[in-house]
A and B are shown apart, each in its own frame.
Chain A
């Protein structure tokens, strides 16, 4: 019996959080920011490597970067946000996965159902992280994009 191909599986489906809970949105964002950070890591290694290739190579690299104009700062801003989100969310995931925190204990389900792993503690953690990350990101953006130094 031949196996039918799986319906709507694959990368796009796994990253599509529409209709789902906020933890799934944060999963999608965590994955995307992870890819951004890896991309940035590669680019950064490549860029810093140019330092060892002599002054000319370094100046050329810097010039090509600066020629992007505002895009360079926006890119750095995105990377900053990714690092902030990925790090903070990572702490929440560490608590979840390695220590089983924020998940709740086994209960006797009572209708209407509300799973404890998506309950009070988890939601507080998610929104606190989102709030803190947003504030810090805006702060970073103000500095990067407008030069404004707040605090």
Chain B
């Protein structure tokens, strides 16, 4: 039995006014983050038996505004993520949006950032971080880890902008390596590691005056994907009016 099962039992059988979020029940959507026995965890994958107590203390996530019972306000957390510009940036935007080619990326290169892409945005690391508890403007371990995920992606060319976003008074320098973020992360994203690696990148630019790494060049496709034999596929045709079925 998991803590989430217990909460569902409470709402369905005893008190229908208990507020909590849940969706997938398998630890991939990140809805059910809450503080269980003092440590932020996902309720759907916390077995009651490992808590070794008869009375379980469940609280809303720390450092977030409480809206009802166990439902917290994740808007600041989401806004921090958006503020680090977590998307592929290319100098030539047409290459990214209007081309028909793909980038060639080797498995080793994928492995350099894949771990940080496992983030389900559950907010546990943000809640566990002692700096977040003290400073509401700190961007948080999740945002920095995502910023590093894009810095390490060979397809990204936004290194300079990302360094500038991290090198602020509420940015990467506020981390003091308490490691609580990595400790509570349910998907082993290891944000503490990402933050230190991000710091190294910042130092590379500021102290060592390194230039930005150029992103991978798009490679021509081995074929354009158009069928060789037989009928050609129809163009993207919307027709006018309705489509009537005969």
Contacts and interface: CB of A to CB of B under 8 A. Distances in A.
Contacts of B134: 9-11, 14
Contact of B63 (A6, A23, A27, A115): A6
B203 A9 contact: no
Interface of A: 3-11, 13-15, 18-21, 23-24, 27-28, 30-31, 93, 96-100, 103-104, 106-109, 113-118, 122
B62 interface: yes
A14 B39 CA distance: 13
Contacts of A4: 65-67, 73
Contact of A113 (B39, B152, B188): B188
Interface of B: 37-39, 59-67, 72-73, 111-116, 118, 128, 130-134, 136, 152, 175-180, 182-183, 185-190, 192-193, 196-197, 199-200, 203
Contact of A115 (B130, B175, B192, B200): B192
Contacts, number: 141
Nearest to B130: A14
B186 to A, nearest CB: 8
Contacts of B183: 20-21, 23-24, 115, 118
B130 A103 contact: no
A7 B196 contact: no
Nearest to B149: A106
Nearest to B199: A97
Given A20-B128, A109-B189, A117-B190, 16 more contacts: A7-B62, A7-B65, A7-B72, A11-B133, A19-B38, A21-B179, A24-B179, A24-B180, A27-B178, A97-B175, A99-B200, A103-B192, A103-B197, A107-B115, A113-B187, A115-B192
Given A4-B65, A13-B63, A115 B190 contact: yes
Contact of B179 (A7, A11, A23, A30): A23
B182 A20 contact: no
A86 to B, nearest CB: 12
Given A24-B183, A106-B112, A5 B178 contact: no
A18 B116 CA distance: 27
A109 B62 CA distance: 26
B130 A24 contact: yes
